[in-house]
């Protein structure tokens, strides 16, 4: 008997208090993350800059950065309380089966071929209802984030029109793209039943590759304008760097990020072993020198040189395989679904025509809901995985910095990082536990120390 068979035999116990376990894990995660945020809030009360930044950051910028970071932490804690309250309500009051039935009722307004006449169709309608309710429920927080918090610190450039348009586009794309992907996902469970594992992993890998290929080219331009970088010193500098290190550069674009925010960034897109597109935010191009921007791109090219994208794809697939291997232990467990208000029947049954009942009879297993609830069971594992993912990401950032340093860009990269830190009001003092859990990048002080940066002002 394998480990997964043993786990399945344990999970088949009808007396397992699934609701209590999920609520316990959810509350535990909230308490842990609140504690981590509290530690960071205390760290932000420090009046002293890290030594390497003392000659780089003025007191006014430092205090504004601390205030911005504190405001974001307070906002995140309130958001977490709201999310926890939603989760408790869904579990406590059996809202999943209620929305499951509501999705079926909504579908009756359409022609028969679009109605929830199968478990897969009902799953699609359930997610459509759930996603729209979630979008509406999150509107106050989204509005506050953009038009209060970010506005207060001078970052928001988004208008109400752009904000609403983005939500509409995202919703339509979710239906147009998410619908077929979810259909394929559920069809694998329906067709293969007990031996779905390798097929689902292959399917999700294909989706990931398609997303990496198509999103930068066809989806992102729906939200931003991508303009080819004009001929000139910056383009020449980037192309010279790409040629020097044999980076497969295809095109260089400038994106109008300033229409939403004054934050800056730069990145490249493209699958491993294919040509790459470099994307520069206009806020970066307009405020940094050619040498600094080139240094930032040397860092990004370092990720390519070290195969970081490929490594993360492999890591992601291993993670996916582990999750779905564990999912086999509960995905057809009758007591698991019945605990949350479902009654699964072996033969097709008619959903009672009553006003959103507590118990919803379904002809098949509501796999999508089972997977959502199963993710809550994985909370302790996923918290540990977040530490591992953050650590791996930070190691890769150090390696990319070291690569840029090896090309002779140390000083310009450091100057660019400091400038980005100032413009973005990024956090100066970071609690170690908070950083280990939340940060995919080392702190600025850690990166400067690793690069061996010595302030020009200190030399003087």
- The catalytic site residues sit at 300, 401
The whole-angstrom separation of Cα 104 and Cα 121 is 9
The whole-angstrom separation of Cα 101 and Cα 353 is 9
Report residue 417 CA to chain centroid gap.
23
| Token pair of 338 as six digits | 């019945």
Q: Helices 233-244 and 290-305 sit at what angle, rounded to 10 degrees?
A: 30
The whole-angstrom separation of Cα 422 and Cα 420 is 5
The whole-angstrom separation of Cα 307 and Cα 297 is 15
The CA–CA distances, whole Å, from 124 to 204, 267, 367 equal 18, 34, 11
The helix (run of H) or strand (run of E) holding residue 267 is strand 266-269
Determine contact, residues 336/18, Cβ cutoff 8 Å: yes
| Dihedral angle, C-alpha 126, 128, 134, 137, nearest 10 ° | -110
Question: Would you say the C-alpha torsion 18, 116, 349, 345 has a positive or negative sign?
Answer: negative
**The residue count for the chain:** 460
The answer on whether 150 is annotated among ligand-binding residues is no
| Token pair of 359 as six digits | 């118990």
Going by C-alpha positions, the residue among 396, 395, 444 that lies closest to residue 424 is 444
The helix (run of H) or strand (run of E) holding residue 181 is helix 179-192
The helix (run of H) or strand (run of E) holding residue 198 is helix 197-214
| Dihedral angle, C-alpha 144, 164, 265, 270, nearest 10 ° | 140
Going by C-alpha positions, the residue among 266, 256, 252 that lies closest to residue 225 is 256
Could you say which DSSP state residue 365 is in? -
Please report, in range form, the residues annotated as the binding site.
299, 303, 397
Please report, in range form, the residues annotated as the binding site for Zn(2+).
299, 303, 397
């Amino acid at each position: 008997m394998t480990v997964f068979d043993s786990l399945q035999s344990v999970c088949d116990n009808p007396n397992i208090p699934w609701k209590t376990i999920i609520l316990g894990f959810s509350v535990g995660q909230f308490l842990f993350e609140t504690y981590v945020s509290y530690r960071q809030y205390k760290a932000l009360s420090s009046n002293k800059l890290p030594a390497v930044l003392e000659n780089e950051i003025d007191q006014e910028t430092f205090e504004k950065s601390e205030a911005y970071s504190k405001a974001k932490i307070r906002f995140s804690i309130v958001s977490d309380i709201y999310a926890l309250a939603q989760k408790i309500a869904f579990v406590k009051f059996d809202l999943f089966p209620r929305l499951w039935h509501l999705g079926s009722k909504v579908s009756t307004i359409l022609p028969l071929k679009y109605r929830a006449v199968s478990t897969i169709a009902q799953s699609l309608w359930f997610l459509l209802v759930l996603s729209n309710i979630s979008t509406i429920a999150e509107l106050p927080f989204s509005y506050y984030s953009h038009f209060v918090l970010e506005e207060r610190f001078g970052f928001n450039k988004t208008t109400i029109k752009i904000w609403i348009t983005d939500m509409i586009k995202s919703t339509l794309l979710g239906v147009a793209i998410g619908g077929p992907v979810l259909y394929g996902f559920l069809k694998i469970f329906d067709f293969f039943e007990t031996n779905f594992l390798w097929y689902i992993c292959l399917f999700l890998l294909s989706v990931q590759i398609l997303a990496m290929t198509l999103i930068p080219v066809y989806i992102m331009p729906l939200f931003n304008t991508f303009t080819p970088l004009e001929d000139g010193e910056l383009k020449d500098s980037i192309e010279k760097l790409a040629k020097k290190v044999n980076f497969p550069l295809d095109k260089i674009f400038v994106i109008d990020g300033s229409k939403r925010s004054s934050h800056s960034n730069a990145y490249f897109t493209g699958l491993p072993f294919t040509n790459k597109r470099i994307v520069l935010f206009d806020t970066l191009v307009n405020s940094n020198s050619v040498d600094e921007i080139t240094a930032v791109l040397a860092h990004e090219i370092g990720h390519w040189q070290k195969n970081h994208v490929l490594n993360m794809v492999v890591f992601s697939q291993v993670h996916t395989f582990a999750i779905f291997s564990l999912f086999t232990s509960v995905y057809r467990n009758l007591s698991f679904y019945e605990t949350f208000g479902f009654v699964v029947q072996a033969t097709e049954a008619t959903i009672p025509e009553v006003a959103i009942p507590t118990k919803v009879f379904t002809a098949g297993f509501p796999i999508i809901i089972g997977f959502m609830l199963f993710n809550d069971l994985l909370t302790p594992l996923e918290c540990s995985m977040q530490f591992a993912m953050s650590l791996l990401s930070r190691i890769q950032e150090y390696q990319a910095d070291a690569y840029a340093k090896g090309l002779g860009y140390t000083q310009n990269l450091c100057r660019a990082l400091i400038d980005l830190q100032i413009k973005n009001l990024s956090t100066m003092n970071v609690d170690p536990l908070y950083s280990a859990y939340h940060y995919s990048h080392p702190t600025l002080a850690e990166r400067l120390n690793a690069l061996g940066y010595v302030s020009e002002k200190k030399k003087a």
